[in-house]
């Protein structure tokens, strides 16, 4: 899934972020029973998490710590 977001950084810079999220449904029955639209819900959760993670970082940190941000996103999601 690919999405584009405008995010405000810790140092008040608005950045445009393109993100790619790969996910796998492990239990289809639970997914269908508990979530009306799993794809949409996953996208919203990923966007919110990305905003929360990047909102705590300065632009220079975002540019230099992409691997750290990626790892942080994986842990949180």
Residue 68 has pLDDT above 80, yes or no: yes
Give the range of the structural domain holding residue 7, as residue numbers without chain letter: 2-76
Tokens of 45: 């959760």
67 pLDDT band, cuts 50/70/90, is: very high
Residues 19-62 have pLDDT tens digits of: 888 989 899 898 888 988 988 999 999 999 999 999 999 999 99
Helix (H) or strand (E) run with residue 66 in it: helix 66-76
At 13 the pLDDT is 94
For 40-72, b/e burial (b = at least 16 CB within 10 A) is eebbeebbebbeebbeebeeebbeeeeeebeeb
At 15 the pLDDT is 94
Question: Total structural domains in the chain?
Answer: 1
Residue 4 or residue 9, greater confidence: 9
Stated length of the chain: 77
The pTM of this model reads 0.81
Q: Please report how many Cα atoms fall inside a 13 Å half-sphere around the Cα of residue 77, on the Cβ side.
A: 23
Find the CATH number of the domain harbouring 52: 3.30.479.30
């Amino acid at each position: 899934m690919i999405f584009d977001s405008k995010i405000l950084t810790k140092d008040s810079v608005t950045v445009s972020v393109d993100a790619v999220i790969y996910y796998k449904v492990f239990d289809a029955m639970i997914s269908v029973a508990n979530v009306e639209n799993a794809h949409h819900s996953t996208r919203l959760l990923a966007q919110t998490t990305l905003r929360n993670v990047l909102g705590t970082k300065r632009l220079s940190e975002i540019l230099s710590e992409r691997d750290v941000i990626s790892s942080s996103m994986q842990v949180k999601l």
